[in-house]
Structure 1
Amino acid sequence: MVVQTLRSATAATIAYVIALRLSPEPAPLTAPLTALLVVQVTFYATLTNGIRRVNSVVAGVLVAIAFSVLVGLTWWSLALLIVASLAVGHLVRVDEYVAEVAISAMLVLGVTTVGYTAWARIVETLIGAVVGTACNLLLPPPVWVDKAGRSIEDLARRVRQLMLRMGEEAAGRTPWQQAAERLHEARRLDHDIVQVDAALRQAEDSLRLNPRVKEGLLHRVVLRTGLDTLEICTVVLRVLARSFTDLAKARGSEELFPPRVGATVEQLLSEIADAIVSFAVLVTTHLSENAESAEARLSAELHTAAGTRDRLAELLREEIRKDWAHWQLLGAVLTETTRIIDELNTEHRARRLLEELDRVSRGQRTKLPRLARLRDRLGVQEELWRNRAGVGERFR
């Protein structure tokens, strides 16, 4: 926060000093204001904000010039000017700077020397945008991957804690109200996922066009697919909590599971919970040695969980023979735990990574064919394919 504040203040001051020399206005405050708005926590956001800001000002100036030629400034022309400016702002897709189109139009139309003021406002906006962008080039903003990684790991640990509590309650008598509370906790994980997604979006933006990062696409895809997997696991966990709640209602005062089955369910959920944390560590690990150890630990934990799942299947088969009334709920427990194990599987993850890399690559070629051809000439595509091969080997 301190670094971002200093960068913003520096960019605004430099923009003002330059505008004093180039702008015809005696106090060119539009330049530092633009620099302040343009400088963001990521270079990608700075560049896109700068382009939108310049577009909004130019659009507003053009609308004002058209109105000054046709009708001038009256109360009804001002209303039409605002409506037209806001409509133009949506047409040119300046997003949060739509209001800036109308502001620029009003400021320019409200003076007697329209051309003079219009030129000054455009110059100051360009100065602020260029200075803000240059500031981010000379002082690159931080890469927010570590923060996003910590958010993903924290989410995995919260999922683990919930699974451990559900496992402990499965081994004893669980009132349906208590099981319902676990269901509410599982639903609240959706809010946590939204926060992690916001942190991940910031990290993805910090990787785009950042001179510090060589493999930004690979980092983005690894983190994004990792969060997608955790989100699927939380959805399945919510369904599992619902099955526990329905089973607790059906059992009444009886135990949720027989002692042997309950102990096995507790063990299975504990093993899956540990695997979820190991998966998050694997996703957020960059160094190859640490990644290999994290992958080995995850594979071992999934293998152990699969064995426990098989034992649970045998126990549930015997239980269903005795209690046909609840076979759907008992079978759902096995199905949902199996789904989580499959989602965490390293081979499954490798396929998803390769599919996502292919999808992103195709999207880039479709949207920017010229840039794709240039990347091919520079050998970027070959490097991407080498990364794909490395990802496939890493997660097998």
Structure 2
Amino acid sequence: MPAVRETVVGLIRRRNEPIVVQTVRCTVAATLAFAAAEWLISGGPPPLLAPLTALLVVQVSLYATLTSGMRRVNSVVAGVLISSAFSALVGLSWWSLGLLILASLVVGHMVRVDEFVPEVAISAMLVLGVSHVAQAAWSRVAETLIGAATGILLNALVAPPVLVEPAGEAIAGLGRRMRTLLMQISRELERGATREDAVRWLHGARVLDNEIAQVDAALNRADESMKFNPRVREGLLARLVLRSGLDTLEICAVVLRTLCRSLTDLSHRRRSEPVYEGQVAAVLSELFLHIADAVDSFGRLITAQVSSNAEVAEGELARALTEGREDRQRIADLLFTESAREPDRWELHGALLANVDRLLNELDVERRSQWLAEELDRHRQDPVRSSPVHRMRRAARSAQRRARRRRHRP
């Protein structure tokens, strides 16, 4: 009993997670579908196809439930029609069964039922194998319709949760992981990084690709949860903010991997010597520290833009970028001297500076605000100034003006 109680309490605390929402909705929908089928269809075996359909149809979001329900009903209807035609022309034998399966699979791909293509053949075989084809066909279609309608009505009446917050947290978590790697590079450069350290940095940068794939999946779930959801009023802005945030961090991850590749090549050329040392290592360490703060602030800015006031995170990002650009100028002067002293390594120093510039430009506040304003203009549907789209555009332009004032502030 204590274990069961802890499990129930854990599910209650995690009630907004997709797995918990899916479990509860599937259970309720299947139970209601079975009860409705027993009430509407009298006689015959228990209508277990109705709860089965509800289990397959119900998804976390209303949009996914609608599309899944329509594909499920189409697959069953197509299978029933094919089996009815076969029963009228030929009986059940090994060659007719093969033709039935072939025709069902082909028709399933033609009607675009996606993951329910095998369901077309299954429905056709089950109906063809009974003695009363018409009764079995009607029963199967009726139970499927009841199960699909129950799942869709459940999600329509009880609005599913909006998964924007988990997606924002996933983006912020990706920013924190990138910050951890940058801070590691900063610490190890300051104390004299070796070739083994540079190889470890490159491996850590490559691991970020898996993190990006997980965040992209979270964004897809959030995008589906906002479609046809009555809880969402300004879903366009949230989708643009989240997707553009992930795109920016993905570019930063690619640039960071290239930057680590340059540092690794430089460490191979220096062999047993540190990658950088002296004042160059100290300034470069400070530069990476400010870039780490900028990446982390950018991740928190994405979360704040879809949940609350973003001015604090925006100010921290602008401050980190300003300090990073100052460090970039200092390290450029130092690397120019290094290139004069070691001409054979100038291309690696130049690649390092180019990647740093790309990171700072991708995280730029003003550039992002301008992009959001342009995208909102492009997606605009109602030109009325009081429309939600106009308010989004006005907010984005206001953020752009604030960023411009901070940049010119002495």
> TM-score when scaled to structure 1?
0.91
Structure 1 residues 199-218: aligned runs within 5 Å: 199-218=218-237
Do the aligned partners of 1:171 and 1:256 also contact (CA within 8 Å) in 2? Answer: no
Residue 276 in 1 paired to residue 295 in 2? yes
Question: Is the partner of 1:290 in helix, strand or coil?
Answer: coil
Which one-letter code corresponds to 1:145 in the other structure? V
Q: Which residue of structure 2 lines up, in the alignment, with residue 10 of structure 1?
A: 28
Residue 162 in 1 paired to residue 167 in 2? no
Question: Is the partner of 2:304 in helix, strand or coil?
Answer: coil
Question: Is the partner of 1:199 in helix, strand or coil?
Answer: helix
Structure 1 residues 351-362: aligned runs within 5 Å: 351-357=370-376, 361=379
Q: Which residue of structure 2 lines up, in the alignment, with residue 390 of structure 1?
A: 395
Residue 235 of structure 1, CA deviation: 0.5
Q: Which residue of structure 2 lines up, in the alignment, with residue 316 of structure 1?
A: 335
| CA separation of 1:358 and 1:115: change in aligned 2, threshold 3 A | farther
Structure 1 residues 67-106: aligned runs within 5 Å: 67-106=86-125
Do the aligned partners of 1:40 and 1:46 also contact (CA within 8 Å) in 2? Answer: yes
Residue 289 of structure 1, CA deviation: 6.4
Question: 1:310-365 CA distances to partner (integer Å, 9 max, x unpaired)?
Answer: 11111111111111110010111111011000000012212333454466x39xxx
Q: Which residue of structure 2 lines up, in the alignment, with residue 177 of structure 1?
A: 196
Do the aligned partners of 2:280 and 2:331 also contact (CA within 8 Å) in 1? Answer: yes
Which one-letter code corresponds to 1:241 in the other structure? C
Distance in 2, Cα, partners of 1:250 & 1:217? 50
Q: Which residue of structure 1 lines up, in the alignment, with residue 369 of structure 2?
A: 350
Residue 255 in 1 paired to residue 243 in 2? no
Which of the numbers 327, 331, 334 marks the counterpart of 2:353?
Answer: 334
Which of the numbers 63, 78, 82 marks the counterpart of 1:44?
Answer: 63
Q: % of aligned pairs identical? A: 52
Q: Which residue of structure 2 lines up, in the alignment, with residue 371 of structure 1?
A: none
Residue 302 of structure 1, CA deviation: 0.8
Do the aligned partners of 2:179 and 2:296 also contact (CA within 8 Å) in 1? Answer: yes
Distance in 2, Cα, partners of 1:257 & 1:35? 62
Question: 1:154-180 CA distances to partner (integer Å, 9 max, x unpaired)?
Answer: 111110111111122223433323211
Which one-letter code corresponds to 2:120 in the other structure? V
| CA separation of 1:324 and 1:172: change in aligned 2, threshold 3 A | farther
Which one-letter code corresponds to 2:171 in the other structure? I
Which one-letter code corresponds to 1:89 in the other structure? G
Distance in 2, Cα, partners of 1:64 & 1:308? 73
Distance in 2, Cα, partners of 1:133 & 1:184? 46
Which one-letter code corresponds to 1:202 in the other structure? R
Question: Is the partner of 2:204 in helix, strand or coil?
Answer: helix
Residue 304 in 1 paired to residue 301 in 2? no
Residue 43 of structure 1, CA deviation: 1.3
| CA separation of 1:115 and 1:392: change in aligned 2, threshold 3 A | farther
Which of the numbers 11, 18, 21 marks the counterpart of 2:39?
Answer: 21
Q: Which residue of structure 1 lines up, in the alignment, with residue 9 of structure 2?
A: none
Residue 4 of structure 1, CA deviation: 3.4
| CA separation of 1:56 and 1:386: change in aligned 2, threshold 3 A | same
Distance in 2, Cα, partners of 1:355 & 1:70? 61
Distance in 2, Cα, partners of 1:143 & 1:27? 36
Which one-letter code corresponds to 1:206 in the other structure? S
Which one-letter code corresponds to 2:192 in the other structure? R
Distance in 2, Cα, partners of 1:381 & 1:130? 37
Q: Which residue of structure 1 lines up, in the alignment, with residue 148 of structure 2?
A: 129
| CA separation of 1:380 and 1:4: change in aligned 2, threshold 3 A | farther
Q: Which residue of structure 1 lines up, in the alignment, with residue 242 of structure 2?
A: 223
Distance in 1, Cα, partners of 2:358 & 2:251? 9
Residue 17 of structure 1, CA deviation: 1.5
Name which of structure 1's ranges 166-175 and 125-134 shifts more when overlaid on structure 2.
166-175
Name which of structure 1's ranges 43-52 and 175-184 shifts more when overlaid on structure 2.
175-184
Distance in 1, Cα, partners of 2:372 & 2:65? 29
Specify every segment of 5 or more residues in structure 1 that has no aligned partner in the other structure, as ranges.
363-374
Question: Is the partner of 1:93 in helix, strand or coil?
Answer: coil
Which of the numbers 58, 72, 76 marks the counterpart of 1:53?
Answer: 72
Which one-letter code corresponds to 2:38 in the other structure? L
Question: 1:146-200 CA distances to partner (integer Å, 9 max, x unpaired)?
Answer: 1111111111111011111112222343332321121011101101111111111
Distance in 2, Cα, partners of 1:211 & 1:380? 23
Which of the numbers 118, 127, 134 marks the counterpart of 2:137?
Answer: 118
Which one-letter code corresponds to 1:267 in the other structure? E
Residue 127 of structure 1, CA deviation: 0.9
Do the aligned partners of 2:238 and 2:306 also contact (CA within 8 Å) in 1? Answer: no
Do the aligned partners of 1:153 and 1:280 also contact (CA within 8 Å) in 2? Answer: yes
Specify every segment of 5 or more residues in structure 2 that has no aligned partner in the other structure, as ranges.
1-18, 404-410
User: How many residue pairs get matched?
Assistant: 382
Residue 380 of structure 1, CA deviation: 11
Residue 203 of structure 1, CA deviation: 1.2
Distance in 2, Cα, partners of 1:344 & 1:34? 47
